[in-house]
Chains A and B, each alone.
Chain A
Amino acid sequence: EVVMTQSPATLSVSLGERVTLSCRASHSVSSNLAWYQQKPGQVPRLVIFGAATRATGFPARFSAGGSGTEFTLTISSLQSEDVAIYYCLQYNNWPPWTFGPGTKVEVK
């Protein structure tokens, strides 16, 4: 099983600042990595797939990269609507599919 870790657990950032979230896999997952955004009380929503491809509906301030075992999600200028928990998911070696524990992004 591929174990996913995320850092930091919580990120407190001022509006307009750059945010970088990290995700690490215990084994290479190639580029088969997705990011999800979950706002309070809502269902997770796909942000990124294929490690770097933005999903429909997400603005260009969201970007992502990485391959193998190290991945990042960047929000270039944090907006209030971006406050959420972000989860990474590996879909290279399944079953099982495995999520990271999440990074909570909040406004300082």
Chain B
Amino acid sequence: EVQVVESGGGLVQPGGSMRLSCEASGFTFRSHVMIWLRQAAGKGLEWISYISPSGTTRYYADSVKGRFTVSRDNAKSSLFLHMDSLRADDTAVYHCATLGDFGDFFDYWGQGTLVTVSS
């Protein structure tokens, strides 16, 4: 069974940093593109980053470019999101997800981890 489990969320002050993790199981992690998305409370869904299976190609949404860095450790089937210069509008539940085997959509999502940016 495919599972992705996020961790590392919590309360952080504006301007602060935080590192999220996502542990994957049930599939060949090193062969899959991995994605981060987020959803603010009562709001819609937003894609925020992409990382290729090898980690050499990364894309970011304009809203986080220059502040967030995605990385992965294929030996540990783990995905990371390092977030700097956090702002109040970064407050959201952050999900990791896999890219589909039958197209570039998101098929398996984790339950998410809540990041709250507040003083």
The interface of chain A, by Cβ under 8 A from chain B, is 32, 34, 36, 43-46, 49-50, 53, 55, 87, 89, 91, 94-102
Given contacts A44-B45, A87-B44, contact A49 B102 (CB under 8 A): yes
Q: Check if B107 sits within 8 Å of A46, measured CB to CB.
A: yes
Residues of A within 8 A of B46 (CB): 99
Q: How far is the CB of A34 from chain B (nearest CB, A)?
A: 4
**Which residues of B are found within 8 Å of A91, using beta-carbon distances?**
103-105
Q: Which of A44, A98, A101, A102 has the most CB of B within 10 A?
A: A44
B68 on interface, CB distance cutoff 8 Å: no
Contact of B47 with A98 in the complex, beta carbons under 8 Å? yes
Which residue of the partner chain A has the closest CB to B50? A95
How far apart sit A96 and B45, CA to CA, in the bound complex (Å)? 12
User: Is B112 within 8 A of A49, CB to CB?
Assistant: no
Q: Is the interface of A mostly helix, strand, loop or mixed?
A: loop
Supply 16 A–B pairs (Cβ within 8 Å), ascending by A.
Answer: A32-B105, A34-B103, A34-B105, A43-B95, A43-B109, A46-B100, A53-B102, A87-B44, A91-B105, A94-B50, A94-B104, A95-B47, A96-B47, A97-B47, A99-B47, A101-B44
Give the total of B residues in contact with A, Cβ under 8 Å: 21
Chain B positions within 8 Å of A50 at CB level: 102-103
Residues on A with beta carbons closer than 8 Å to the beta carbon of B95: 43
The reply to whether A99 and B44 form a contact with Cβ atoms under 8 Å apart is yes
B44, B61, B100, B103: the one contacting A102 at CB < 8 Å is B44
* B59 part of interface (Cβ distance < 8 Å): yes
Q: Please name the residue on chain B nearest to A95 by beta carbon.
A: B59
Within 8 A of A (CB), among B66-88: none
Bound Cα distance A46, B106 (Å): 8
Closest beta carbon of chain B to A43's beta carbon, Å: 5
B13 CB to closest chain A CB (Å) equals 28
Specify the chain B residue showing the minimal Cβ separation from A31.
Answer: B103
At the interface, yes or no: B118 with Cβ under 8 Å from chain A? no
- Nearest CB in chain B: distance from A3 CB, A: 13
User: Which chain B residues lie closer than 8 Å to A95 at the CB level?
Assistant: 47, 50, 59-61
